[in-house]
């Protein structure tokens, strides 16, 4: 009976130690795919980024009806081509061109949004996001389904 108790106690200690060891926790995914639709202003990727992370976004350009020079001034990013993939790191932040790609160090806690530069554009952009996590570890709850498109903004 004493041997059984010792075996049970030692197996309990071992399983507790393994559960607390961060090396055994699953790694966060690094690669994500999102479909960015032209009819939505911004697509919420659901990705929270922390200081020290690095994000690389790849995407093409969709077709847009011709903008006049006066209309181009009212695009989210007038200096970028109409239909280009854009990203922003905060809800109210200015957009950054991500077509054909963008590579950004994260300098403060951020949340990734993707969008299209234009309002008379058609179709979708298949965007790819690669995140180099500063602190690898277990997935956050908001990253449980990274390839599933999140809510629109």
For 80-123, the pLDDT digits (tens) are 999 999 999 998 999 999 999 999 999 999 999 999 998 889 99
SS (H, E, C) the chain: CHHHHHHHHHHHHHHHHHHHCHHHCCCCCCEEEEEEECCCCEEEEEEEECCCCEEEEECCECEECCCCHHHHCCCCCCCCCCCEEEEECCCCCCCEECCCEEEEECCCCEEEEEEECCCCEECEEEEEEEEECCCCCCCCHHHCCCCCCCCEC
The pLDDT, as a whole number, for residue 66 is 73
> For residue 91, what is the domain's CATH number?
2.60.120.430
**Structural domains counted in the chain:** 1
Mean pLDDT of 131-149: 57
pLDDT-based confidence at residue 70 (cuts at 50, 70, 90): confident
pLDDT-based confidence at residue 149 (cuts at 50, 70, 90): very low
| Residue 94, domain member (yes or no) | yes
């Amino acid at each position: 009976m004493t041997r059984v108790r010792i075996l049970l106690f030692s197996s309990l200690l071992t399983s507790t130690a393994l559960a607390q060891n961060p090396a055994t926790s699953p790694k966060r995914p690094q690669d994500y795919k999102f479909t960015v639709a032209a009819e939505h202003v911004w697509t919420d990727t659901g990705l929270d980024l922390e200081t020290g992370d690095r994000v690389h976004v790849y995407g093409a350009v969709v077709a847009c009806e011709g903008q006049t020079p006066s209309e181009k001034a009212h695009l989210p990013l007038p200096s970028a081509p109409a239909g280009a993939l854009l990203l922003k790191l905060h809800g109210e932040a200015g957009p950054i061109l991500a077509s054909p790609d963008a590579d950004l160090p994260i300098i403060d806690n951020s949340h990734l949004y993707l969008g299209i530069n234009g309002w008379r554009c058609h179709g979708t952009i298949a965007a790819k996001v690669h995140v180099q996590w500063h602190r690898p570890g277990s997935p956050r709850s908001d990253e449980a389904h990274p390839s599933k498109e999140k809510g629109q903004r």
